Amino acid sequence: EYGGYVRLATLLKEERAAAARQGRTVVTLDGGDFSMGALFQTIYTTDAPELRALGAMGYDVTTLGNHEFDYRQQGLADMLNAAKGSGDPLPEIVQANYTQPLEHDSGYAVVQALENYPVTDYTIVERDGLRVAVFGVLGQDAHDYAPMSGMAMEPIADAARRVVAELRDKYDPDYIICLSHSGTDGAGKGEDYGLAKAVDGIDVIISGHTHSTLTEPLEVNGTLIVSCGEYTQNLGVLTVSKEDGQVVPVEYRLVPVNEDVAWDPDMTAMAESFQQTVDESYLSGYGLTFHQVLCQNPYGFTPISQFGAVQEEDPLGNLIADSYIYAVEQAEGADYVPVDFAVVASGVIRASLAQGDITVSDAFEVSSLGSGADGTPGYPLVGVYITGRELKDAFEVDASVTPLMSAAQLYGSGMKWSFNVHRMIFDKVTHSAQVLPDGTEIPIRDDQLYRVVTGLYSGQMLGTVNNKSFGLLTITPRDENGEPIENLEEYIIRTPVGAELKEWYALASYLQSMGTVDGRYAAAEGRKRVSHSWNPVELLRSPGWPTLVVLAVVVLVLALAAVLVVRRLRSSRRQKVYHV
Torsions phi, psi for 329 (to 5 deg): -65, -40
Residue 15 identity (one-letter amino acid): E
**Radius of gyration, alpha carbons of the chain:** 27
pLDDT at 579: 52
Identify whether the C-beta of residue 571 lies closer than 8 Å to the C-beta of residue 578: no
Euclidean distance between CA atoms 525 and 416, whole angstroms? 10
pLDDT at 56: 98
Residue 398 identity (one-letter amino acid): D
Euclidean distance between CA atoms 142 and 209, whole angstroms? 7
Euclidean distance between CA atoms 298 and 404, whole angstroms? 34
Picking from 184, 223, 189, the residue whose alpha carbon sits closest to that of residue 207 is 184
Identify whether the C-beta of residue 238 lies closer than 8 Å to the C-beta of residue 177: no
Euclidean distance between CA atoms 91 and 88, whole angstroms? 10
Dihedral of alpha carbons 256, 257, 259, 265, sign = positive
Identify whether the C-beta of residue 177 lies closer than 8 Å to the C-beta of residue 206: yes
- Percent of the chain having pLDDT more than 70? 95
Identify whether the C-beta of residue 122 lies closer than 8 Å to the C-beta of residue 134: yes
Identify whether the C-beta of residue 232 lies closer than 8 Å to the C-beta of residue 5: yes
Ranges under pLDDT 50 in the chain: 580
Pairing of strands 61-63, 356-359: unpaired
Identify whether the C-beta of residue 54 lies closer than 8 Å to the C-beta of residue 281: no
pLDDT at 250: 96
Identify whether the C-beta of residue 310 lies closer than 8 Å to the C-beta of residue 292: no
pLDDT at 2: 85
Identify whether the C-beta of residue 413 lies closer than 8 Å to the C-beta of residue 342: yes
Euclidean distance between CA atoms 462 and 485, whole angstroms? 13
Euclidean distance between CA atoms 119 and 69, whole angstroms? 14
Picking from 305, 328, 378, 313, the residue whose alpha carbon sits closest to that of residue 531 is 313
pLDDT at 103: 81
Residue 358 identity (one-letter amino acid): I
Identify whether the C-beta of residue 528 lies closer than 8 Å to the C-beta of residue 313: yes
